[in-house]
Structure 1
Amino acid sequence: MKFAVTSRGDEKSDGLMQKIKNYLLEFNLVYDIDNPDMVITVGGDGTLLYAFHHYAHRLSDTAFVGVHTGHLGFYADWKPEEVERLVIHIAKTPFKIVEYPLVEVIVRHNDTTKSERYLALNECSVKSVVGALVMDVEIKGEMFETFRGDGLCISTPSGSTAYNKALGGAILHPSISSIQMAEMASINNRIYRTVGSPLVLPQHHTCLLKPQSEGDYHITIDHLSIIEKDVKSIQCRVAEEKIKFARFRPFPFWNRVRDSFIK
């Protein structure tokens, strides 16, 4: 099996990364940074997000596993003191693949047929560079509402515990193939009105955002920050691709939610 290891870049994470690499090489696994079958990330959820985007072109061929050197993450579930156990599992034990849904974001422009396509593991957020965001929201080809406010956040189920939760969105189990749209400070009065609640859309429903006026838009795709000009529409839906996680032991989602926010 071919593997790659990435690190957050601090001294502790770099040391663990080298330790994991050396151990796996001793087990005669092949280190291949370009075409790995498995990517081990050392750091936290942010490190795994970076690795996901780096290897987004080969999601069907690559599985991810995370070691956290800080707080317990939603993606990085192995502790530093468990590294030797993890290495033996990778080298000797058949593992289970768990797949999580992603959100596909397609940005189209008024002056060209060219479009940009992005995949997000956590969420996509949309804001206006200047002033309030004013967008017509279409769901499954039908006009739903005109949103006015600070912005919109479209999240995956696994990303529902991140920015989405801070906006009052629901926490969704990653086995539910869906996306969720949450509002940021919507304007609601006698003239302007939005639904005012997060929306959960199933896999076969598409959300289309259409600006009511010309302008530049600030779009985030996980940790990536992009300024898009002359936007015609922003299309969001559940992506055909999924991220694969290598599981060597149970990693219950609701336990992670409890440990992160309650325990």
Structure 2
Amino acid sequence: MNFTITSKGDETSDALCEKMKTYLIDFGLVWNEEKPELVISVGGDGTLLSNFHRYRNRLSTTAFIGVHTGHLGFYADWTPQEVEKLVIDIAKTPFDIVEYPLLEVMVSYINGDSDSRYLALNECTVKATEGSLVMDVLIKNDHFETFRGDGLCISTPSGSTAYNKALGGAIVHPSLEAIQLAEMASINNRVFRTVGSPLILPKHHTCLLIPVNDVNFTVTIDHLTLLHKDVKSIRCKVASEKVRFARYRSFPFWSRVKESFVGDKS
């Protein structure tokens, strides 16, 4: 099996990478950074996000697994103390595949430039570069509301525990093929009104954002920040692609949520 390992870049993560690389090659696996079947991230969820975007054109043939060298992550769920067990599992045991839905973001332009298409593992956010964001929000091409506020966050189920949760969004199990739209400090008064609650849209629904005024927008795709000018619309929906995670053991999603946000009070 072809594999590659990437590190967060700190001393601990670098040392673990070299250790795992040596062990796996000794077991007969092939180091291949260009066409890996398994990508191992050592560091945290941010490291795995970077790997996802690096290999986004190989999602149908590449699986991801994460080792955390800091706090427990939703994607990086193996500890440094478990590395030897993980190496043996990778070398000796076929892994199960768990697939999570992704977010497709399509940006169209007034000037006729080709549309820009992005995939997000966690979320996309949209903000105006100056002043409040003013966007018409259409669901299934029907006008739903005109949003005024700091910005909008559109997240995947697996990303619902990240920025979306900080905005008061719901935690959604990643087996559900859906996207969630959450508001950032919406303006609500006698003149302006939004629904004020996060919206969870199923796979066959799209969310279309149309600028009301001619301004530039900052669009984030996970950890990537992009400036867009002359925006005609931003269309968000569940992507046709999915991300594949390698599983060598069961780690239920709700157990991760509990460990991350509730903890053991006993």
How would you bin the TM-score normalised by the shorter chain?
over 0.9
Q: 4+ runs of 1 displaced by more than 4 Å?
A: none
What pairs up with 1:201-220 in 2 under 5 angstroms?
Answer: 201-220=201-220
Instruction: Tell me which amino acid in the other structure corresponds to 1:10.
Output: D
Are 2:56 and 1:56 equivalent residues in the alignment?
Answer: yes
What displacement does 1:65 show? 0.4
Are 2:151 and 1:147 equivalent residues in the alignment?
Answer: no
Deviations 1:204-231 (A, max 9, x none): 1000000011110000000000000010
Are 2:78 and 1:78 equivalent residues in the alignment?
Answer: yes
Are 2:163 and 1:179 equivalent residues in the alignment?
Answer: no
Unaligned runs of 5+ in 1: none
Q: Which residue of 1 aligns with 2:163?
A: 163
Are 2:21 and 1:21 equivalent residues in the alignment?
Answer: yes
Deviation larger for 40-49 or 104-113: 104-113
Deviations 1:66-100 (A, max 9, x none): 00000000000111011110011111101110001
What displacement does 1:113 show? 4.2
Q: Which residue of 2 aligns with 1:194?
A: 194
Question: Aligned to 2:160, what secondary structure does the other structure show?
Answer: helix
Are 2:117 and 1:109 equivalent residues in the alignment?
Answer: no
Deviation larger for 105-114 or 36-45: 105-114
Q: Distance in 2 between matches of 1:194 and 1:241?
A: 31
Q: Which residue of 2 aligns with 1:227?
A: 227
Q: Distance in 1 between matches of 2:151 and 2:49?
A: 23
Q: Distance in 1 between matches of 2:73 and 2:130?
A: 34
Q: Which residue of 1 aligns with 2:31?
A: 31
Q: Which residue of 1 aligns with 2:254?
A: 254
Q: Which residue of 2 aligns with 1:243?
A: 243
Q: Distance in 1 between matches of 2:114 and 2:48?
A: 30
Q: Distance in 1 between matches of 2:215 and 2:186?
A: 19
Question: Aligned to 1:179, what secondary structure does the other structure show?
Answer: strand
Q: Which residue of 2 aligns with 1:121?
A: 121
What displacement does 1:112 show? 1.1
Deviations 1:34-81 (A, max 9, x none): 000000000000000000000001000000000000000000011101
Q: Distance in 2 between matches of 1:2 and 1:242?
A: 20
Deviations 1:114-160 (A, max 9, x none): 11100000000000001100000000111110000000000000100
Instruction: Tell me which amino acid in the other structure corresponds to 1:63.
Output: A
Q: Calculate the TM-score normalised by the size of structure 2.
A: 0.98
Question: Aligned to 1:170, what secondary structure does the other structure show?
Answer: coil
Q: Distance in 1 between matches of 2:125 and 2:220?
A: 5
Identical pairs, percent: 67
Q: Calculate the TM-score normalised by the size of structure 1.
A: 0.99
Instruction: Tell me which amino acid in the other structure corresponds to 2:12.
Output: K
